[in-house]
A = this chain, B = another copy of it.
Amino acid sequence: MDWLDSVKWDNDGLVPAIAQEFGSGDVLMFAWMNREALAQTAASGRAVYWSRSRQQLWHKGEESGHVQQVHEMRLDCDNDVVLLRVTQLGHQPGIACHTGRHSCFFQRLEGGQWRSVEPVLKDPAAIYR
Contacts and interface: CB of A to CB of B under 8 A. Distances in A.
B105 A75 contact: yes
Interface in A1-50: 3, 6, 16, 18, 20, 24-27, 29-30, 42
A56 interface: no
27 contacts: A3-B112, A3-B113, A3-B114, A6-B114, A18-B18, A18-B27, A18-B30, A24-B25, A25-B25, A25-B26, A27-B27, A27-B83, A29-B76, A73-B109, A74-B106, A74-B107, A74-B108, A75-B114, A77-B97, A77-B99, A77-B101, A77-B104, A77-B106, A77-B107, A78-B104, A81-B104, A81-B105
Interface of A: 3, 6, 16, 18, 20, 24-27, 29-30, 42, 72-79, 81, 83, 97-99, 101, 104-109, 112-114
Leading 6 A-B pairs by shortest Cβ distance: A25-B25, A76-B104, A74-B105, A73-B109, A75-B107, A30-B81
Given A6-B114, A81-B30, A114-B3, A74 B42 contact: no
A34 B24 CA distance: 30
Contacts of A16: 16, 30
